[in-house]
């Protein structure tokens, strides 16, 4: 399962996703360092991320304290641990981290296609290392489902690299709306009780649309679960799995005049869409 502390180790990679693009490809080529220097920086970055994961895992998750094991966690069934929200979380995190790596590589001077491919590989490598580390932990164990969803996130990231036109049209996002009460603890990555995941199809990505007003609209397909975290087998079963479609506002485009950031390609602002929901429970 993705955990906040591990992702904190990758936080430095996510910072570029909040910043405006660093110029055109032509601008970046003026500052490309020698190939050997690029390789050295890339290697050191991946070693640092991998080392941080292993050190944190050994200190906090009992990595290397048990013989390797694996288990079946299930997918999106009613009786799984999080109703499948954690599985989509793996896809989302792998994808977002791949984009963060990609932006770092772009800023270093790699050309766009190579930066994208390397970002996917670096992200998948980090997430795979977490799963392998989990296999040596008596508490967690290797999860085939988590690993497959990591691969799905990497695959989606590669699809966006291979098809820039599709990248303009489609976003994979998370929406987080916690309850700010006395028990509030910020946990964007594993607080599935307050998270939603969605695909957004952006009208702005279609050049054929003539109306400028339509370009602020989106279509959403999302999924979330509720009442799983505090469920007890001897209590009333209030767990629910929700699939929804809806229309929303492209917040990134709305704010583009004042704030140029790709952040809203990955985050959905609450209360900016109108969903039609289907409760499977």
Residue 20's pLDDT is 61
User: pLDDT truncated to tens, each residue of the chain (281 aa)?
Assistant: 444 445 545 555 556 666 665 555 455 555 556 777 888 888 888 888 888 778 777 776 677 777 777 778 889 999 888 999 999 999 999 999 999 899 889 888 888 889 999 999 999 999 998 888 877 776 777 888 989 999 999 999 999 999 999 999 999 999 998 877 656 666 777 789 999 999 999 999 998 887 888 899 999 999 999 998 888 877 788 899 999 999 999 999 999 888 888 889 999 999 999 999 999 98
Whether 49 and 6 have beta carbons less than 8 Å apart is answered as no
Helices (H) and strands (E) in the chain, counts: 9, 7
Identify the bridge partners of residue 247 per DSSP, sorted by sequence position: 219, 274
Residue 278's pLDDT is 95
Token output for 163? 């098809």
Give the 3-state secondary structure of residue 265. Answer: helix
User: How, if at all, do strands 70-71 and 240-249 pair?
Assistant: unpaired
Token output for 217? 């609209």
CB atoms within 10 A of CB 194: 17
Contacts of 118 (CB under 8 A, 6+ apart): 42, 101, 102, 105, 110
* Element at 142 (helix H, strand E): strand 142-143
User: Cα dist. 277→79, 222, 274 in Å?
Assistant: 20, 9, 10
- Dist CA 175 CA 269 (whole Å): 6
Residue 252's pLDDT is 92
Residue 1's pLDDT is 42
Residue 31's pLDDT is 56
Residue 2's pLDDT is 44
Question: What are the residue ranges of helices labelled H in 21-111?
Answer: 25-29, 35-60, 85-108
The pTM of the full predicted model, rounded to 2 decimals, is: 0.87
Residue at token pair 């502390």: 5
């Amino acid at each position: 399962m993705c955990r906040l502390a591990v992702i904190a180790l990758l936080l430095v990679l996510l910072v570029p996703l909040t910043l405006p693009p660093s110029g055109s490809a032509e601008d970046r080529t003026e500052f490309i360092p020698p190939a050997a220097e690029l390789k050295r920086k890339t290697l050191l970055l991946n070693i640092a991320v991998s080392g941080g994961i292993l050190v944190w895992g050994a200190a906090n998750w009992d990595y290397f304290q048990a013989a390797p094991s694996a288990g079946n966690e299930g997918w999106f069934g009613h009786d799984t641990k999080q109703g499948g929200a954690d599985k989509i979380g793996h896809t989302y995190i792998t994808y977002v981290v791949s984009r963060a790596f990609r932006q770092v590589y772009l800023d270093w001077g790699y050309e766009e296609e190579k930066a994208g491919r390397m970002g996917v590989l670096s992200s998948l490598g980090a997430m795979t290392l977490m799963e392998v580390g989990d296999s040596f932990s008596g508490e967690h164990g290797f999860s085939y489902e988590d690993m497959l969803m990591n691969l799905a996130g990497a695959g989606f990231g590669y699809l966006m690299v291979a098809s820039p036109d599709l990248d303009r049209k489609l976003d994979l996002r998370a929406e987080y709306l916690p309850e700010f009460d006395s028990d509030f603890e910020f946990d964007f990555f594993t607080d599935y009780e307050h998270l939603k995941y969605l695909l957004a199809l952006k009208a702005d990505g279609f050049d054929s649309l003539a109306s400028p007003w339509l370009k602020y609209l989106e279509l959403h397909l999302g999924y979330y679960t509720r009442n799983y975290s505090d469920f007890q087998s001897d209590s009333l079963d209030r767990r629910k799995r929700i699939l929804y479609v809806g229309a929303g506002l492209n917040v990134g485009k709305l704010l583009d005049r004042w704030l140029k950031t790709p952040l809203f390609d990955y985050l959905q602002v609450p209360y900016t869409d109108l969903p039609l929901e289907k409760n499977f429970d």
